[in-house]
Structure 1
């Protein structure tokens, strides 16, 4: 049960026995558990190394129990700090991978026989989207990570989506939660659902993306600037990974028109995502951009979360959120 804290089964057995019988010494533990004295001594030494036992001030050769709320809490805090660090490493790795894909695509211009193709300029990108949509027969998956859609984007997308749906192809799109406050985008999303498409929203999305028939994926070269160009990917493994990312996001996103769901801890998707993004070290400005909300709105939600956690600082809020299981665990 306590392996994640570095406490093995042998140490846990001895520790539990001491908790129930604080006055037990080596002899009593040996008799209680039926273990050799040497094994008891080595196990006590390990518990001391973990700071669950400490030498007595009066009898330095005797180990005394450290109060569990102190000793175990310290081990838990250490593991939570390691988990937060791991989350930050994963986020940095994700950004690096995206940059490496973009760099490779930039150095390897369009070649129909290869697994990637670089598209530069809005005209070229829209032309390829039209071609790929015309060839799409089964399913189109999309992340609309830029927030509210421009009138030009809506006008360009409507005939393509309409043709797809007439052919019987499925359309599943995830927008940002923030578009619920934008009437033109919400209107278009409702039009999609009325004609057979499926639309959900999420508090944030990793990047803008369109996947055609699970065979070809279109991504921006720079997730922060979709106008800089796009890269078309056809590699089986790469596209499969992107499909898995879509499905994972789709699973937790809210269907358009439904009330925002809260989890068993009373957190909305937006609140969970804010905690996650802040825990990996993003600034208020960066988090607000990811969620497509104002910095003022972000700080209002953050302040409410800190109040619920009874935290006096961002650092304390992160620790308390992790301790209560409000932050996601690493995959």
Structure 2
């Protein structure tokens, strides 16, 4: 059993490092877009959409044009009831047209009944849904030809960036696939084995070790600041750690986290 667990942890560490390389690449892309310093990309391949109205107009156009596949990162935890209700007719229309849809939510939606009901409704309509502990940003990929990314992960209404440069689209699509492979199906149990951390706790512990505040951890996990404080306090007590950095060191020593390369 020890050998099997060690092998699984080794495989997880390798996969986690590949995923973090992809996330770092995505972060560099987003920074370059915001600074308008994209080598080799024309204005037609990168477009900045300012404000919520511009985002909605662009979404309407792209949803009419998508023909084969729609891939979505949906961070933020539990979704707004009004937004979910408004999206249903469009989702039905796309799925009836034969568009393949895959959506990745945060694990935190599992404790929110309205969002879970909506996610199950999507699955009934033909969409594939999975969850992960955290997501880097809101992102939508259309037919592997165009990508829309929130310009500010903390305030998605400020603006968005539309990318159609083939190399950038390919990299962001690879990022989606890596996250999808590590995600859990909606009905899969997320309870850990006795003595182990669940995926959300492991992610919180990693963010804790990096020095993130409870507010920052809450945003990444899609939970309230109060819940984030409860998670971090419980983790530090569990590990017997006196500081966030010590918590990270102890977690690696005890095998709760793989040694990551940043």
* TM-score of Structure 1 vs Structure 2, range by shorter chain: 0.7 to 0.9
Q: Give 3-state SS (helix, strand or coil) of 2:153's partner.
A: coil
**Structure 2 equivalent of residue 98 of structure 1:** 30
Gaps of 5+ in 2: 1-19
Structure 2 CA distance, aligned partners of 1:248 and 1:264? Answer: 27
CA–CA separation in structure 2 for the residues paired with 1:224 and 1:128: 20
Report which structure shows greater RCO (CA 8 Å, sep ≥6): 2
Q: TM-score, normalised by structure 2?
A: 0.80
For residues 132-143 of structure 1, the aligned pairs below 5 Å read: 132-143=62-73
Check conservation: 1:276, 1:327, Cα contact below 8 A: yes
1:189 pairs with 2:119: yes
Cα-Cα RMSD: 2.9
Determine the C-alpha separation between the residues in 2 that align with 1:176 and 1:299.
18
Cα pair distance change 1:92/1:190, threshold 3 Å:
closer
Change (3 A) 1:263 1:139: farther
Which of 291, 296, 301 pairs up with 2:221?
291
TM-score (norm 1): 0.65
Contact 1:176 1:203 survives alignment (8 Å): yes
Say if 1:172 and 1:92 are closer, same or farther in 2 by CA, change over 3 A: closer
2:77–2:223 Cα contact (<8 Å) kept: no
Distance 1:93 1:243, change over 3 A: closer
Q: Which residue of 2 aligns with 1:67?
A: none
Match of 1:163 in 2: 93
Contact 1:99 1:222 in 2 (8 A): no
Taking structure 1 as reference, are residues 93 and 133 closer, same or farther at Cα in structure 2, changes over 3 Å only?
closer
Native 8 Å contact 2:26 2:172 kept in 1: no
Whether contact under 8 Å (1:141, 1:173) holds in the other structure is yes
Q: Which runs of 5+ in 1 are unaligned?
A: 1-87
The corresponding residue for 1:204 is: 134
2:103 alignment counterpart: 173
After superposition, where does 1:138-153 map in structure 2 within 5 Å?
A: 138-153=68-83
The answer to whether the Cα contact below 8 Å between 1:177 and 1:201 also exists between their aligned partners in 2 is yes
Q: CA deviation at 1:165?
A: 0.8
State the alpha-carbon separation in 1 of the partners of residues 257 and 25 from structure 2: 19
Q: Distance in 1 between matches of 2:29 and 2:70?
A: 24
Residue 306 of structure 1, CA deviation = 2.7
Query: Aligned to 1:311, what secondary structure does the other structure show?
Result: coil
- Which residue of structure 2 lines up, in the alignment, with residue 63 of structure 1? none
Contact 1:204 1:291 in 2 (8 A): yes
SS of the equivalent of 1:217 reads strand
Contact between 2:73 and 2:139, CA under 8 Å: does it hold in 1? yes
SS in 1 for 2:36: helix
Residue in 1 aligned with 2:158? Answer: 228
The farther-off stretch of 230-239 and 289-298 is 289-298
Would the alpha carbon gap of residues 117 and 264 (structure 1) be closer, same or farther in structure 2, given more than 3 Å must change?
farther
What displacement does 1:138 show? Answer: 1.6
